[in-house]
Amino acid sequence: MIPGVQKCGTSSLFAWMVQHPEVHGSIPKEVHYFDGGRTLARDDWPLGEPWYRAHFPTRARVGGGIAIEATPRYMLHPAAPERIASALPDVRLIVLLRDPVERAISHYFHEKKRGREPLGLLEALDAETERIGLRDDGSYPIDREEWIHASYVLRGMYADQVERLFASIDPERILILESDHMFAEPGRTLRTVFEFSGVRPDLIPSDLSPRMVGRRSDVDPEARAYLERVFQEPNRRLYELIGEDYGW
């Protein structure tokens, strides 16, 4: 499972992995079973495991290998790690992390392109806490669209999200990758991913072109400086947690 993070390369990694003959992807790529459902109108979790497993090919059809899905919102949803652990005790997770400053900017332009963001970048960052209803204890309501679409800073608080994963799932079954490194060396990264996943690591796909990579306009230097300040301490916490410094 690729549980996130959004705008960190999850679409590319999924597209690369399913080219492997032993890797079988879900339909669609994002199932949204563990995160409250594709829309807030209905939480799909009560539909149960048969509903979830119906999104994957049967063993009778594919003969073996592994199944994979990629739903980037799983990292953000506070209940997702416990749900994943209870339903799939043997699951392996691949987590993609990107410089949170660049991720937030990419997320903003993603929402702008789709007509969901009326504010300028700095205005949107300044309004985020109020829009998503962030509480003093760091929690947030999940019954409003803003926590999905306007969570530019929140989604970059990787240490909080990784801590939730580690609390429910054995860290030995979680592979954390830095997305810039993945795009710089996709073949090498995939060998690591396939070995971790338990499939032949020498079968590297031929099509390693990036997927869902958007273009953006010039970024307000003040907004970038704001994001760099905001993420300085959370990045330090992340490096301590995972034992690796990405230099963000």
Residues 24-80: tens digit of each pLDDT: 999 999 999 999 888 887 889 999 999 999 999 998 888 889 999 999 999 999 999
Tokens read off for 173: 């079954």
Name the residue with tokens 């539909």: 47
Is residue 22 very low, low, confident or very high in pLDDT (cuts 50, 70, 90)?
very high
**Structural domains present in the chain:** 10-242 (3.40.50.300)
Query: Which residues have CB under 8 Å from 148's CB, separation 6+?
Result: 40, 73, 76
The pLDDT value recorded for residue 39 is 82
The pLDDT value recorded for residue 217 is 64
Please check the confidence at residue 215 and state whether its pLDDT lies above 70.
no
Tokens read off for 20: 């492997």
Q: Which residue has the higher pLDDT, 19 or 217?
A: 19
Mean pLDDT of 122-151: 91
Name the residue with tokens 């899905």: 69
Query: What is the chain's mean pLDDT, rounded?
Result: 94
pTM of the complete model: 0.94
